[in-house]
Amino acid sequence: MKNDKKNDDRVIPIAPLDRLIRKANAERVSESAAKELGIILEDLGKEIANRANDLAKHANRTTVKDSDIRLAYKQWSERM
Amino acid sequence: MKNDKKNDDRVIPIAPLDRLIRKANAERVSESAAKELGIILEDLGKEIANRANDLAKHANRTTVKDSDIRLAYKQWSERM
């Protein structure tokens, strides 16, 4: 119920997240667990994407490249 | 090319990752950028899933629940 609103602007589908948890040798995975992981990964993804976009602009590019994502992730990890 | 092997066991599709980066106001997004973000998020997802599975087992459950994911993420964040 309370996830309905959050789901509206979520982009990662549930099925692959469920599979990701099953790969960690989980016997069973609740649907809410897969959703929760989706919320967490999307939040992290948004933070990295925002940083990557700033880095691309800083390099006078309109295209976000993999090198922007890599540096954004490095900076984000070091921040914690 | 060098991503081919990594893609074999990747589960999150590229399209939603591309959308996630576009949402950060990126004008254009290279395909390799979306792939790179996928690799990063899946690695994080696996770490959280492994912890969540340990926590479920520790609580004598065979089902991974959202509370396992939440505590796993909390512990993972604090670890860094």
CATH number, residue A69:
1.10.20.10
CA distance A57 to chain B (A): 9
Complex confidence, ipTM: 0.87
Q: b or e along A32-66 (b: 16 or more beta carbons within 10 Å of the residue's beta carbon)?
A: ebbbbbbbbbbebbeebbbbbbbbbeeeebeebbb
Give the per-residue pLDDT at B2: 47
- Count how many domains chain B has: 1
Q: Which domain holds residue A7?
A: 2-79
B22-71 per-position pLDDT tens digit: 999 999 999 999 999 999 999 999 999 999 999 999 999 999 999 999 99
pLDDT at B3 over 70: no
Q: Is B55 on the interface with A (CB under 8 A)?
A: no
Q: Does the distance separating the beta carbons of A80 and B20 come in below 8 Å? A: no
- Mean pLDDT estimate for chain A: 90
Which tops the pLDDT comparison, A41 or B80?
A41
